[in-house]
């Protein structure tokens, strides 16, 4: 932990400061203690980053990391080393009933930084991903229990960084009009941002957006679903989305297994809806499918014409700022030594959206090193597979309804 490291001669790209130059980075006691063109290596363990890209540890603002406690959960400590993601924002995997287990069994022991948003539903996402049970977490609105959220707040206070609501038919059925105001109230009580997921209606996106204010987060912004799409039938941005943008609602990609369409993204971007964060919505059923990891999603945005600087900004300081964490997603003297080292490959690869539409990504990022709080995060093999597939019966049922996770 207290090892002194010198990452030598890499291209340091830090959008928060505008830095893009060849530099040495010195690390001691979990902090960055030197940033200069040449630092004396004596007393340091040297990592040669010649020809590689050095960036702040990535911040993925939409993940599902409650492995063992939910079917969807993936083990951040196993995906982190191959992806450069040092900050994992878990979006509503746990509810008041299951938060204690998440905190003690997963968040505390992790070598990475897992930041939880708590689900409005008492049961969180314990049932999600099991289509044979097929009961959304808010099919019964009594699970939206504010007393229980107050109890968790009293116990865990500032650990909880946000409230999450899945406002789509598969999660809350027809209960949108009841649970939307309760989600607003919950975020007010906890004094944290509210993140709302949109998908298949009901509720439709126009009913959802009024509950989000400046600093809150809309996720799955380029999803192609009926009623939950940011575009109208003429592929124009809906007025409700323009209003949300104007009042400062933050826009999160949340790629997921069913929530990203290249066609929607291109049209929405042309209409002025840019993401404030590029995130995966990684979970056990898409980790071996269209999501894989954050660098894979970043390659899709490089294929859409985003610059490397833009893509790094949207996975470092921009999501950190949404979280109100100016200590994360940047490389500063005296700051947290969260870093990722990538090889930038210019061999084109095929990438796909959630609908299976393919594009060529001209550039990909291959993670060579992940460092969190100055500690090298080694590969971990606990003998457990992270990926899961729906059984063929279940996936057919999910496809018919068109409302997988």
Options 11-19, 280-288, 326-334, 396-404: segment touching Zn ion (CB under 5 A): 280-288
Nearer to Zn ion among residue 211 and residue 342 (C-beta): 211
Q: Which is nearer to Zn ion, 16 or 119 (CB)?
A: 119
| Smallest gap from residue 125 Cβ to Zn ion (A) | 8
Residues that contact Zn ion, how many (by CB under 5 A): 2
DSSP-assigned beta bridge partners for residue 85: 58
**Interatomic CA distance for residues 71 and 65, integer angstroms:** 10
**Least distance (Å) between residue 164 CB and Zn ion:** 8
User: Which one, 71 or 91, has the nearer CB to Zn ion?
Assistant: 91
Cβ closest to Zn ion, residue 91 vs residue 284:
91
The stretch among 245-253, 278-286, 316-324, 384-392 that binds Zn ion (CB under 5 A) is: 278-286
Residue nearest to Zn ion (CB): 281
Q: Check residue 403 for interaction with Zn ion (CB under 5 A).
A: no
Query: Closest distance between Zn ion and the C-beta of residue 86, in Å?
Result: 19
342: which residues sit within 8 A by CB, 6+ positions away? Answer: 52, 53, 55, 84, 295, 365, 366, 367, 368
Q: Which residues pair with 219 in a beta bridge?
A: 197, 252
Q: At closest approach, how far in Å is the CB of 72 from Zn ion?
A: 8
Distance of CA 251 to the CA centre of its chain: 12
137 binds Zn ion (CB under 5 A): no
Q: How many CB atoms lie within 10 A of CB 385?
A: 10
Residue 281 found at the interface with Zn ion (CB under 5 A)? yes
- Please, which of residues 207-236 interact with Zn ion by CB under 5 A? none
Q: Which residues pair with 55 in a beta bridge?
A: 340
* E runs forming strands in 215-293: 217-219, 250-252
Residue 80 buriedness (CB in 10 A; 0-12 / 13-18 / 19+): buried
Rounded least distance, CB 278 to Zn ion, Å: 14
Please report, to the nearest 10 degrees, the dihedral formed by the alpha carbons of residues 89, 312, 224, 215 taken in order: 50
The nearest distance, CB 356 to Zn ion, in angstroms, is 20
From residue 366 to residue 395, what is the string marking binding to Zn ion with x (rule CB under 5 A)? ------------------------------
CB 128, min distance to Zn ion, A: 9
**For Zn ion, the closer CB: 60 or 281:** 281
Secondary element (H or E) of residue 262? helix 262-270
Q: From CA 34, how far away is CA 287, in angstroms rounded?
A: 36
Report residue 229 as tokens: 């799409």
- Using CB under 5 A, which residues numbered 34 to 93 contact Zn ion? 91
Distance from chain centroid for Cα 405: 15
Nearer to Zn ion, 77 or 281 (CB): 281
Cβ nearer to Zn ion, comparing 72 with 314: 72
Segment near Zn ion (CB under 5 A); pick from 75-83, 132-140, 276-284, 339-347: 276-284
CA distances from 341 to 57, 81, 171, 238 (A): 9, 10, 38, 39
* Cβ closest to Zn ion, residue 91 vs residue 322: 91
CA distances from 307 to 61, 67, 107, 312, 404 (A): 20, 34, 33, 9, 32
Shortest Cβ 81–Zn ion spacing (Å)? 22
CA separation for the pair 106, 124 (Å, rounded): 15
Minimum CB separation of residue 168 from Zn ion in Å reads: 11
Nearer to Zn ion, 77 or 90 (CB): 90
Could you list the residues that contact Zn ion (CB under 5 A)? 91, 281
């Amino acid at each position: 932990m207290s090892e002194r490291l010198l990452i030598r001669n890499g291209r340091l790209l830090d959008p928060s400061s505008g830095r893009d130059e060849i530099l040495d980075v010195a690390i001691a006691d979990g902090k960055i203690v030197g940033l200069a063109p040449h630092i004396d290596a004596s007393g340091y363990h040297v990592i040669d980053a010649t020809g590689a890209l050095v960036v702040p540890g990535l911040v993925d603002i939409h993940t599902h990391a409650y492995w063992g406690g939910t079917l969807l959960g993936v083990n951040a400590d196993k995906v982190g080393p191959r992806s450069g993601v040092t900050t994992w924002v878990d979006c509503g995997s746990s509810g008041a009933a299951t938060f204690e287990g998440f905190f003690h069994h997963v968040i505390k022991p992790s070598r990475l930084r897992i930041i939880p948003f708590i689900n409005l539903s008492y049961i969180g996402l314990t049932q999600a991903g099991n289509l044979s049970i097929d009961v959304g977490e808010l099919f019964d609105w009594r699970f939206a229990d504010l007393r229980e959220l107050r109890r968790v707040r009293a116990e865990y206070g500032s650990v909880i960084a946000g409230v999450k609501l899945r406002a789509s038919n598969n999660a809350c059925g027809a209960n949108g009009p009841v649970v939307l105001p309760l989600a607003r109230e919950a975020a007010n009580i906890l004094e944290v941002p509210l993140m709302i997921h949109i998908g298949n209606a009901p509720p439709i996106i126009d009913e959802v957006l009024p509950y989000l204010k400046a600093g809150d987060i809309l996720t799955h912004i380029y999803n192609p679903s009926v009623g939950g799409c940011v575009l109208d039938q003429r592929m124009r941005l809906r007025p409700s989305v323009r209003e949300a943008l104007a009042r400062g609602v933050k826009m999160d990609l949340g790629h997921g297994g069913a929530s990203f369409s290249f066609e929607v993204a291109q049209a929405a971007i042309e209409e002025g809806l840019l993401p404030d964060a590029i995130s995966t919505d990684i979970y056990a059923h898409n980790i071996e499918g269209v999501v894989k990891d954050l660098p894979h999603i970043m390659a899709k945005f490089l294929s859409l014409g985003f610059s490397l600087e833009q893509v790094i900004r949207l996975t470092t300081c921009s999501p950190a700022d949404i979280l109100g964490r100016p200590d994360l997603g940047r490389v500063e003297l005296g700051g947290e030594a969260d870093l990722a080292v990538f090889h930038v490959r210019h061999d084109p690869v095929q990438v796909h959206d959630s609908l299976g539409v393919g594009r060529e990504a001209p550039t990909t990022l291959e993670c060579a090193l992940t460092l969190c709080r100055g500690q090298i995060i080694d590969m971990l093999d606990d003998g457990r597979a992270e990926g899961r597939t729906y059984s063929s019966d279940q996936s057919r049922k999910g496809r018919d309804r068109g409302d997988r996770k």
